[in-house]
């Protein structure tokens, strides 16, 4: 009998240990929300304890807005965690979130209010009907979407319904509800009731089957919340209220957020939770309008401020730190910004400032100026520019198009600490020029078809040139003239005469760039003491050229590796007998320069959610890279570079801060045919090398025993050992043992 009990205990231990161990191999998509299988709403067996159930639902919804959606840095709630994590709508989302959170998290609500107040109050001319205000446009008008600001990766937007008219708006349930509320506030209760009943009539037992449902085949959750709210405000009975409420709350997942859409089987798979739907669900039960029957306000057109006909006029009358929102159109002006302002175009594709081939299109002669959302074109001839920063600091030029016939698209003269980010620059003489300018950041710009230079630095130091793409320039992608101590990293420079030239420029760092298909990858002229490593030199006619090879100038002496890894050279043909991804012999440039650790595959760098970079050297194409923070797993997909490629390898450098345990590598679920887990370790980073027969493969790198499971497993194992031990000795004296368990003093 004891042996049988022991066997059962061991089986129990094995099953529990297997379940815990399975956590080691949770895939990256395990955190994605999947809809459970549910019974149709018209066949419910569940009885709700309404007040308690909805109270918990509402609290969870508010917690979702406060802890998952709200961004303290931005001061607003984002649109959705997966499909739009970096988009923040003033209206509708944050106006709704402000009112919803007042009941649960008043400090967060106040922060949202102050942020919106800072941007100015934006009316939508639609959702104000929820809050006791009439609407100026009945029939409704289509929305206009406006980019208001950028904060880092965050885009601040708002919606104004002042576009073209909506035909047959009564086909949409939400518009019927807004119309019902509008007529309610004006005192026209018969119209209000008629539109409410029209919206209610679209309920088909699963959702509101209005025009949107007909078009896309899914129901909208937020419309159920609107219908519940409107019923309460109009004091109209909602015939199917219980079913409608149950369907709405079925769309709430474990995060507390409500999904935007669901299908005819009441599954929300494929849709995301979001701020608007979740906030409306709270308002459906909580919000009481304080002011009714406000008069309708008919807005002016949203171009430059209503009392200005030109952008320059608005600049002249603005106060420092004002934000000027410029509606789409073409403005034939030469602007001078002489105070700290933000100029925000509605859309960079159709909000244009045209210099009409005279002067600088925009001159910034102040500090702390932000310009975003414009097309800028047609400056005058030399020395004029699309945008000129003249003795100016701490400015931001973000998400503009500087295209067509500008002598220099962006010129910084004696200007420091500016950010030039994510601009599209095409068909100009020079893309970006820095003259006697320091400590600037040029990042994420795309520069094409410059007739002279892509990026050019004159007597400029300590600048950061990161992750730009420069292609098809007639001369340099990037040129540094008498410009020391700059950092050039992560750029792609291609299809030009020269990728990078250093002319009398010393002590620069050139890292992690791809120099591709140019006549000269690097051109050096009397430029020494710079470092070049982790760059990819691919199919340039001359990978490196030193002017001293043919002319009597001072030769350049530089460092071409970091002591561990060098650069990838497409014309390097030596072997790798050490199976470490490093060539056996140096790559020779000249007698003063050689790469001692040439890479056998191209270098890539991937930033993870923890802020750590993972470095990968591979002769395969890396299709994608993902780090799953929940279980410290790295997932990559690789494929052949060429059709006849037989074998591939990966040399990967993983920071200890990311993964400090012994790890395990699989490829399509099996071991690589060769792997070295202990290639190198410098105390902060670990290098692994593995090789494989080629096809399209999924690589998974996961800790063999994640540290976050060690303590729970030890505690479980200890507890189970105690249970097994005690049960083994309970045949004759179980009462004594039970007494010992209940009496700690024994």
pLDDT in tens, 560-604: 999 999 999 999 999 999 999 999 999 999 999 999 999 999 999
Q: What is the pLDDT of residue 577?
A: 95
The pLDDT of 479-499, averaged and rounded, is 97
Q: Which long-range contacts (CB under 8 A, 24 or more apart) does 503-509 make?
A: 503/479, 503/527, 505/457, 505/480, 505/481, 505/530, 506/530, 508/480, 508/483, 508/484
pLDDT-wise least confident of 93-107, 134-148, 281-295: 281-295
Q: Cα torsion at 701, 706, 709, 714 (round to 10°)?
A: 130
CA-CA distance, 51 to 518, in Å (whole number)?
70
What percent of the chain stands above pLDDT 70? 84
Q: What is the DSSP secondary structure assignment for residue 419, as one 8-state letter?
A: E
| Confidence band, pLDDT 50/70/90 cuts, at residue 256 | very high
Convert the pLDDT of each residue in 115-124 to its tens digit.
988 876 567 8
Predicted confidence (pLDDT) at residue 333 exceeds the cutoff of 70: yes
- Give the pLDDT score at 570: 97
43 pLDDT band (50/70/90 cuts)? very low
Contacts with 679 (C-beta within 8 Å, 6 or more apart), sequence order:
580, 651, 687, 688, 689
Left, alpha or beta for 436 (phi > 0: left; psi -120 to 50: alpha)? left
pLDDT at 300 over 60: no
* Confidence band, pLDDT 50/70/90 cuts, at residue 33: very low
Average pLDDT value for residue range 450-479: 96
C-alpha 224, offset from chain centre: 30
The CATH number given to 603-707 is 2.60.40
Q: Is the dihedral of CA 328, 331, 334, 336 positive or negative?
A: negative
Q: What is the mean pLDDT of residues 443-469?
A: 97
Q: Are 376 and 360 in contact (CB under 8 A)?
A: no
Kindly state the average pLDDT of the residues 460-476: 96
CATH architecture of 317-601: 3 Solenoid (2.160)
pLDDT at 320 (0 to 100):
87
Model confidence over 511-522: pLDDT tens digits? 999 999 999 999
Q: Is the model's pLDDT at 708 over the cut of 70? A: no
- Listing DSSP states for 142-203 in one string gives --EEEEEEEETTEEEEEEE--SSBPTTGGGSHHHHHHHHHHHHHHT-HHHHHHHHHHHHTTB
Residue 297 has pLDDT above 70, yes or no: no
At residue 296, does pLDDT exceed 80?
A: no
3-state SS string for 655-689: ECCCCCCCEEEEECCECCCEEEEEEEECCCEEEEE
Does pLDDT of 398 surpass 70? yes
Question: pTM of this prediction?
Answer: 0.62
Closest by CA position to 33, among listed 279, 270, 277: 270
């Amino acid at each position: 009998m004891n042996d049988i009990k022991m066997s059962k205990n061991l089986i129990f231990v094995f099953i529990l240990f297997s379940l815990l161990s399975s956590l080691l191999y949770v895939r990256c998509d395990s955190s994605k929300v999947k809809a459970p299988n549910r019974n149709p709403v018209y066949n419910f067996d569940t009885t709700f304890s309404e007040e308690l159930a909805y109270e918990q639902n509402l609290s969870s919804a508010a917690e979702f807005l406060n802890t998952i959606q709200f961004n303290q840095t931005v001061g607003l709630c984002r649109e959705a965690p997966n499909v739009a994590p970096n988009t923040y709508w003033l209206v509708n989302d944050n106006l709704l979130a402000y009112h919803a959170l007042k009941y649960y998290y008043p400090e967060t609500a106040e922060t949202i209010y102050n942020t919106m107040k800072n941007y100015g109050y934006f009316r939508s001319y639609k959702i104000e009907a929820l809050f006791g205000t009439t609407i100026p446009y009945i029939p409704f008008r289509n929305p206009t979407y406006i980019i208001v600001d950028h904060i880092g990766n965050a885009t601040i937007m708002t919606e104004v319904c002042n576009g073209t008219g909506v035909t047959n708006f009564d086909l949409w349930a939400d518009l019927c509800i807004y119309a019902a509320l509008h007529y309610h506030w004006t005192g026209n209760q018969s119209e209000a009731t008629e539109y409410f009943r029209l919206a209610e009539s679209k309920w088909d037992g699963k959702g509101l089957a209005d025009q949107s449902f007909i078009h896309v085949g899914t129901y909208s959750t937020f419309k159920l919340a609107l219908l519940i709210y409107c019923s309460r405000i109009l004091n109209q009975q909602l015939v199917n209220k219980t079913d409608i409420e149950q369907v709405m709350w079925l769309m709430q997942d474990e995060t507390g957020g409500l999904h935007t859409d669901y299908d005819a089987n009441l599954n929300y798979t494929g849709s995301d939770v979001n701020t608007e739907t979740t906030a409306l669900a709270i308002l459906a039960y909580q919000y009481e309008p304080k002011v009714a029957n406000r008069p309708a306000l008919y807005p002016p057109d949203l171009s430059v401020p209503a009392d200005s006909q030109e952008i320059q006029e608005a600049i002249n009358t603005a106060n420092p730190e004002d934000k000027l929102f410029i509606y789409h159109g073409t403005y034939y002006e030469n602007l001078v910004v002489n105070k700290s302002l933000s100029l925000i175009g509605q859309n960079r594709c159709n909000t244009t400032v045209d210099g009409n081939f005279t002067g600088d299109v925009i001159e910034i002669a102040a500090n702390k100026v932000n310009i975003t959302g414009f097309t800028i074109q047609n400056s005058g001839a030399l020395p004029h520019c699309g945008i000129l920063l003249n003795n100016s600091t701490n400015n931001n030029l973000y998400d503009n198009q500087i295209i067509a016939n500008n002598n220099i698209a962006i010129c910084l003269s004696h200007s420091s600490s500016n950010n030039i980010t994510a601009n599209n620059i095409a068909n100009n003489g020079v893309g970006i020029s820095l003259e006697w300018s320091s400590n600037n950041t040029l990042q994420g710009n795309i520069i094409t078809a410059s007739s002279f230079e892509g990026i050019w630095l004159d007597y400029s130091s300590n600048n950061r040139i990161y992750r730009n793409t420069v292609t098809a320039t007639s001369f340099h992608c990037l040129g540094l003239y008498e410009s020391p101590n700059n950092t050039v990293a992560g750029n792609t420079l291609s299809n030009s005469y020269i990728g990078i030239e250093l002319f009398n420029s010393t002590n620069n760092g050139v890292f992690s760039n791809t120099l591709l298909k140019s006549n000269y990858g690097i051109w050096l002229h009397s430029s020494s003491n710079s470092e070049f490593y982790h760059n990819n030199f691919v199919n340039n006619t001359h990978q490196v050229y030193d002017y001293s090879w043919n002319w009597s100038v001072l030769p350049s002496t530089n460092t071409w590796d970091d002591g561990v890894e060098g650069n990838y050279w497409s014309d390097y043909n030596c072997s790798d007998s050490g199976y470490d991804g490093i060539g056996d012999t140096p790559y020779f440039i000249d007698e003063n320069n050689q790469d001692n650790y040439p890479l056998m595959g191209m270098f890539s760098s991937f930033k993870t959610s923890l802020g750590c970079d993972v470095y990968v050297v591979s002769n395969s194409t890396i299709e994608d890279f993902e780090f799953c923070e929940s279980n410290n797993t790295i997932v990559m997909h690789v494929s052949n570079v060429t059709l006849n490629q037989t074998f591939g390898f990966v040399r990967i450098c993983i920071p200890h801060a990311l993964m400090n345990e012994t790890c395990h590598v699989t490829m399509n679920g099996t071991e690589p045919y060769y792997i070295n887990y202990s290639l190198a370790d410098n105390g902060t980073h670990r290098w692994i090398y593995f090789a494989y027969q080629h096809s399209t493969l999924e690589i998974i790198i996961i800790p063999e025993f994640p540290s976050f499971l060690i303590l729970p497993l030890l505690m479980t194992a200890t507890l189970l050992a105690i249970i097994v031990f005690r049960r083994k000795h309970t045949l004759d004296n179980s009462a004594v043992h039970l007494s010992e368990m209940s009496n700690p003093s024994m």
